[in-house]
Every structure is written in C-alpha cells, then in structure tokens.
Structure 1
Amino acid sequence: MKTKLQAARIARGWSQVELMDALEDAAERLGIELPSRSSLKTQISMFENGRRAPGADYQALFSEVYQATRVELGLELETAPSQLDSLPSLPSPRLPTPKANPEILGYLKSVFVQHTQAEPLVGPRFLVPPVQSQVPLIEELCKEARGDVREDVLRVGARYAEFLGWLHQDTGDSREAMLWTNRALDYAFELGDPALSSYIFQRRSNIAAEAGQAGYAIGLAKAALRDDRKLPGEVRAVALRARANSEALLGQADDAARTFDEARSLAEAASVEPGSLAPYCSASYIDMEAANSALRFQRPEEAVRTLEASLTQWPAEQERDRGLCLARLATAYAQLEDVEAAYNAGAQAIAIAQSTGSARILAELGRVQDLLSRWSKLVEIAEFNRQLGTMKGS
C-alpha cells in the first residue's frame, strides 16, 4: 500500500531523482546536511515504503519540498518534552483539585486581557513567567471539567497557550513557540472551533516562515484557509497575510501581491468585536507585511511609500509592531542608500527594541546594519552599531 509520502511524490509526477534534486535545494536553504546521492536514494525508498520513519530534519525537508504539513504527509511529529516537565509544581499535592467555576474562569480571562494589553508596550521578556505560571491551574481545571464549562476552560487554555507561543516567538525561540502553539491547537481541535483553529494554524505558519521553512509555512497557511468562508473577516485577513508571506518567501511575487491585496480589503472591511482573535490586523498592519515582501523583491521605493503611509495610521497601543515597521523602513532606506533616513528610522526602532526586548525588531535591525556597513565610520552609524552591539551582548 502506498504511503502518503510516496503518494505526494507520485501526485507531482516526480521520479525519485527529481525528488532528490528538490530535497538538495531545500537542504541548502534550510542549512541541513544530506548524505551522498546513493545513500539519500536508499533513505527515500525506506521512508516511502514505511520501513523507516524520517527524522526531524527529513520531516522538515519533505514539508518544504511538498509544501504540506507533516500530518498531511503522514509523518510523525517530532517528539517534544511535555510542557509539564518545565512548569512549576502546584503548591501542595494534598490540596483538592480546583474546580472550574465562573469566578476562577473570570479571573483567568481578566488576567489574560491585561497581559495582551501590556504585551505590545512592554514586549515578551517580562510576560513569559506570569503567563506560564497560569498554565498549571488551567491544566488542573481541564482534568475535571465537563460539559459546557469544559468548553470554557479549553478556550481559555487555547488562548493562553497560543499567547505563550507568540511571546516565545518574539524572543526568538522558534522551538518553544511552535511547541506552545501546537498545544493551543490541541485545545482548539477538541473545541471544534473553526475560527480558533484557523487562527492557530496561521500562527504556526508565521513561526515556520520566520524559521525559513517556506514550504511548510504555506502548507500551514492553506490549512488555516481551508474553511475560509466560515471565518470572521479579521481572521481570514490574517490567515491570508500568512499565505502571502509564504508566497513571497517562495519567490512568488505576483501571487503574494494578489494575496496581500485580498487581505487588505478584508482588514479594511472587518468589524472587530470585543474578544476578537486578531484585533491588530488593520490595513496598516497588512501594509507593513506587504512592504516587507517588497523589500524581499528589491523594491525599496515601494516599501518606503507603503511604510511611511502605514506609520501615519499606526495605533498608539501597538508600540512593538510600530518598532518593527520602523526597522523595516530603515531597511528600505538603507537599500536606497539614503543613510540619514535609514539612521533616523533605525534609531527610533532601536529605542522600541530596547524597551520591549523584541528579537524580531533586533533581527530586522541586523539587516540594516549590514546594509550600512560601508558608512560605519560616520558618527551616527558608529553609534547605531554600538547600540546594536550592546543589545546583542557583543
């Protein structure tokens, strides 16, 4: 019987030689070392015949070349330690298990709202410990909760786990980010909530894209959009944004542009309700992401126009994302060799990166630093490099 892995190759009309070519290209992009061609051919045959399970590196490569998730390819997910291994113990095992009730759930929801409101302003570094400290309580509530109250507990658990995934992503820890986001998907699947599942799939796509796994990322984005007509406008918009980012990473400039346009239209028309999954997904936010795509395709003039306009409409409460927008604007100016404008935007982004501890802003500023290396003797650029070096600990 054909395995899903073999079926994926046959569906594309590839020979094993063509698959090996694609795997070698993907391995070069992802920094994965492959064995000799003869050994690789043997490995592929064993994987496709089900005689051996692919390891983590091969799983990432197959997801990349087939642009599909591990589940769609019939691959076992990489074994990860239980989240409970690193979580704090409950105060005393002799105490009775807490019961889910409106008061406890109200407390968890209230604290969650406070954390999400603080996060764009203070960044992830101060929030990971207090957010994670709530997880053991949620786990305990899940053990006993039944009926309607169980759905409420699962929803709270999904939001906390997804938020923890985001916090870890913004600190630059992709592994922890994906681990917690996968945990959130477990809760969402039990709930059977298509909007929540879609939102979490696009979050997984974002993590994969930032890790450079474009094929895996677009597979996850497509999963997020599988029931797109059932989704709220802002969730569909943010999922389209994830697909557009993946298309850009794959070099599909026209597809990415069309998808960004569709996402922007939905974001402009969306009526965001209290408790929305993606209240941040405004037209300005989509424009910032589209501008990043323009930078990838060496179109800095387009990026500058888009980012400058986006910054005039940026919500004050989204300070961390404003910092990322400024860092990308600095990159655009640096590509244009406008050193003064690049420094001005970059200096503002550094200040926000320092206050929020966002690794994503810092990574973008690293691109700016590389582009401005020819002007490193200028006083302003030397100061820019000094501040970046301090933040990187170098």
Structure 2
Amino acid sequence: MEFARRLDAALGAEGVLALMLEPQAVMISQAREPFPNPDATFDLSWIESFHADTASRRSYVSDALVRPDVQDQAIESFADLLDRLKSLGQVLAPSNVMPMLVPQVVILVKLAQRADDRIAPKVWRMASRFADYAGWMAQEMGSDETASRWTDQAVIFARLAGDNDAVAYAYVRRANIALYQHDARMTVNFAVLAQKTQCGSYVQRLACQREAQGYALAGDRHSYIKAMARAEGLLANEPDDEPQRVQLGSQRMSNPLRLAKGWSLHDLGLSEDAVPFLRDEYDATHASNRRARARIGARLALALAASHKLDKAAEVLEDILSGVRTIESATIRADLKSVNRILNRWHGDESVLRVSPILSAALMPSASIEG
C-alpha cells in the first residue's frame, strides 16, 4: 500500500493504484452505530477490576462529598485534576498514569449516582472526560480493544449528562484508533458519523480533519482536499470560548490543521510536501510536552526519511528518542518502526549509522520504564 501511494504521487494518478488495492477504502454506506444503545448502562464492575491492584476497588464517596455546598467545588477540583493528569501524561508512561486515572472514574460514577438532578449531569460529564482520557492512555499502552471499551464508557456517561459534544467526539476517537490501524474505510466512517451527530464546531472540525486523514490514507487526494477545506472553514469560524472544548481531547496542538495536513500529505505519498507542515508544528511544540513533541517528531522523521533527507531525519530522531524511552507510546513506536524500515535501506549512510543504535534501543521492549 505504501509503495502504491508513492507511485500514485509520482505519476499524478490521484490514488488510483491505492484504490485498486483497497477498493472499498472510502465507502461509507455501511456506517453503523458502534457505541452502546441509548438504554445501555455503565459497567462499574469492569472499571473497578481494570486495575485490581489500584485504589479503584477501595474508592468510595463520603457523605460530605454529596452535600450541595461541596459538589460544585468538587467538580472544579476534578477538572483541575484531569488537567494535571493530562500534563503528567505528556511526560510519564501511560502505565504510570492509569492507576491515578481509573479510581477517579469510580468516584465520579458513585458521586453521580448520589447527586441531585442539578449536579448529576455535571458529574456524568466529568466522568465522561476521565473515561475518554483513559481511552487515550489505553491506546498509548498498545491495547486498541481496551481503548475502544473506555470510549464506549465515555459515551454512556456523556449520554447520561446530555452532552452531545462528547458523544460526537467519541466517534472522532474511534476514527483515530482506525487511523493508527491503517484502516482508511473505518477512519472515514467514524468521522462521518461524528459529523452527523449534533455538536459544536470544535468537534465538527476535528471530525473533518479525521475524515481528510482517512481519505489521504486511502490515496484519495480529491476527497482529502474537500474534507480538509471544510475543516479549515470550521476553524476560521470557531469561537475561542466554545463550552467544554478545553476538556475534550488529550493535548492542544499549536495548529492541529497544520499537523493533520503534514500527516496526510505523507500518507498521500507526498512526503517532501509534508515536511514543512510537520516541521513548523514540531518547532512550535514545547520540549516539556514530550509525548506531543515525540509524536510529531516521529512523523516528521518519517516524512524526512521518505524524502531521502537522511541527515535531517537523524537529527530529529536524536532529539526525541530519549523521551520516547520514558513515555511508552505504542502509537509513536508504530511510526518509528516505519522510520526504521526506511533507514534500513540506507544502512551504509553516515547519518543512519549514527542514529540506528539508539533507534533500535528505543524500539526494544526493554527500553520502557520499569517500576
């Protein structure tokens, strides 16, 4: 498939060769409801048993926490806690973050069950945000099945809260999982379903971005351009203070469309065109955001290597690989494996010889943090 995309780009074939390999890549007629039906209930026992060795089984809600004068302050504190956990997720392995994340979901569910009608929707919304982030961390740990299950839980909580934005965003998350599985058809399917869900412009824009990336993965440049244009239009008219947007997602990028364009151009076989977009986003991402910087850096190194700019690719790899060894990201490792395959074609190059040992070490299972 990768070779077909590069041939498409070289011949100006508009994805014809890639579509011959995957003719159903962008059909959306079979799109279906992937989440629990509206009458589904949450599975607290599954959440509690997710980490049997954490405090999740011992979590409880004291009588004081359900007092009306305490509840609003508690919700604000949980929001602050989630922001801090997301910051920790930028520098720690997901296996270190999950034991701190899961018990909060249990507490919030139990609090929502005891809360009055005024506060309960707020609590369910917060539980949805925590469950959504648990899905991100599960994906980073390399378990797409567990990530999808957490996303299902987030949808159930969001529906109890009456939060359509979170329901639509869950489709975006599923599209993200499909994108990393190199499943163009399902990436587009889920992105389209998100756009069919009533939600704000922020989530609509994210859905358009994912749709564009799905088309790019399929080699369909024409559909990619149209979907990306819709995303750009939504971003231009997106209010800065859209409610709840700050709590959706894992980490803000300085320019998410710029990153999506660079990502997509590489998938379209236009790696040299992708480099400036990825480079700008990489340079704009602060070194303290290790996970985000490593993710963008891995994709930048991949585009550089595919463009035969081996020395530049090696420079980026040397910059990010020390961080990769501590954050244990399955999604980043997937890109780095692709980089490694390309570099192996040029194993005699001086830059490749310099970076190959540390790249190989970063890809070894023993490179992860223990304890």
The normalised TM-score by structure 1 is 0.73
Asked if 1:85 corresponds to 2:49, the answer is yes
Provide the C-alpha distance between the structure 1 equivalents of 2:230 and 2:331, rounded to a whole number of angstroms: 25
Q: 300-309 or 381-390: which moved more?
A: 381-390
The aligned amino acid for 2:32 is T
Q: 1:63 to 1:150 in 2, by over 3 A?
A: farther
2:193 paired with 1:223: yes
Unaligned runs of at least 5 residues, structure 2 = 1-18, 366-371
- Give the residue type in structure 1 aligned to 2:119: V
**Structure exhibiting the larger radius of gyration computed from Cα positions:** 1
CA–CA separation in structure 1 for the residues paired with 2:200 and 2:96: 33
TM-score of the two chains, using structure 2 as the length reference: 0.77
Partners of 1:171 and 1:114 lie apart in 2 by 19
Shift of residue 227, structure 1, vs aligned partner: 4.4
Q: For 1:83-106, what per-residue CA distance to the aligned partner results, in whole angstroms no more than 9, with x for missing partners?
A: 333344543889879637334434
What's the counterpart of residue 5 of structure 2?
Answer: none
- Residue 266, structure 1, aligned to residue 237, structure 2: no
Q: Secondary structure at the match of 1:298?
A: coil
Residue equivalent to 1:374: 345
Shift of 1:174: 0.8
103, 111, 136: which one pairs with 2:106? 136
2:77 pairs with one of 98, 107, 112: 107
- C-alpha separation in 2, matches of 1:126 and 1:382: 33
Pick the aligned partner of 2:166 from 180, 188, 196: 196
Residues 252-289 of structure 1 deviation map (CA, whole Å, 9 limit, x = unaligned): 22111222233234335534338523595556222222
Contact 1:331 1:364 in 2 (8 A): yes
Greater relative contact order (Cα 8 A, min sep 6): structure 1 or 2? 2
Partner SS for 2:182: coil
Counterpart-to-counterpart distance in 2, 1:225 and 1:94: 37
Deviation of 1:240 after TM superposition, in Å, equals: 1.1
Aligned 8 A contact 1:67 1:217 in 2:
no
- The answer to whether the aligner puts 1:331 opposite 2:302 as a matched pair is yes
Query: Secondary structure in 1 aligned to 2:196?
Result: coil
Distance, in Å, in 2 between the alignment partners of 1:278 and 1:130 is 18
Residues in 1 aligned to 2:33 and 2:27: alpha-carbon distance in whole angstroms: 10
Q: CA deviation at 1:208?
A: 2.2
Please give the root-mean-square deviation of Cα atoms over the aligned residues, in Å.
3.5
For the pair 1:391 / 2:362, whether they are aligned, the reply is yes
CA shift, 1:164, in A, is 0.4
Which sections of structure 1, spanning at least 5 residues, go unmatched?
A: 1-25, 30-60
Residue 293 of structure 2 aligns with which residue?
322
Other-structure match for 1:35: none
Identify the match of residue 251 of structure 1 among 207, 219, 227. 219
Answer yes or no: is 1:210 the counterpart of 2:177: no
Given that residues 90 and 291 in structure 2 are in contact (C-alpha distance below 8 angstroms), is that contact kept between their aligned partners in structure 1? Answer: yes
Q: 1:271 to 1:349 in 2, by over 3 A?
A: farther
Q: Work out the CA distance in 2 between the residues paired with 1:175 and 1:279.
A: 19
Assess, with a 3 A threshold, how the Cα gap between structure 1 residues 147 and 96 changes in structure 2: closer, same or farther: closer
Distance 1:158 1:91 in 2: 21
Equivalence for 1:68: 31
**CA-to-partner distance for each residue in 1:98-151, whole Å, 9 max, x for gaps?**
637334434322211211233234453421111112222122223322301111
- Measured in 1, the distance between the counterparts of 2:212 and 2:184 equals 11
CA distance in 1, matches of 2:206, 2:51: 31
Distance 1:183 1:62, change over 3 A: farther
Q: Percent same amino acid among aligned pairs?
A: 21
Q: Which residue of 1 aligns with 2:9?
A: none
SS in 2 for 1:147: coil
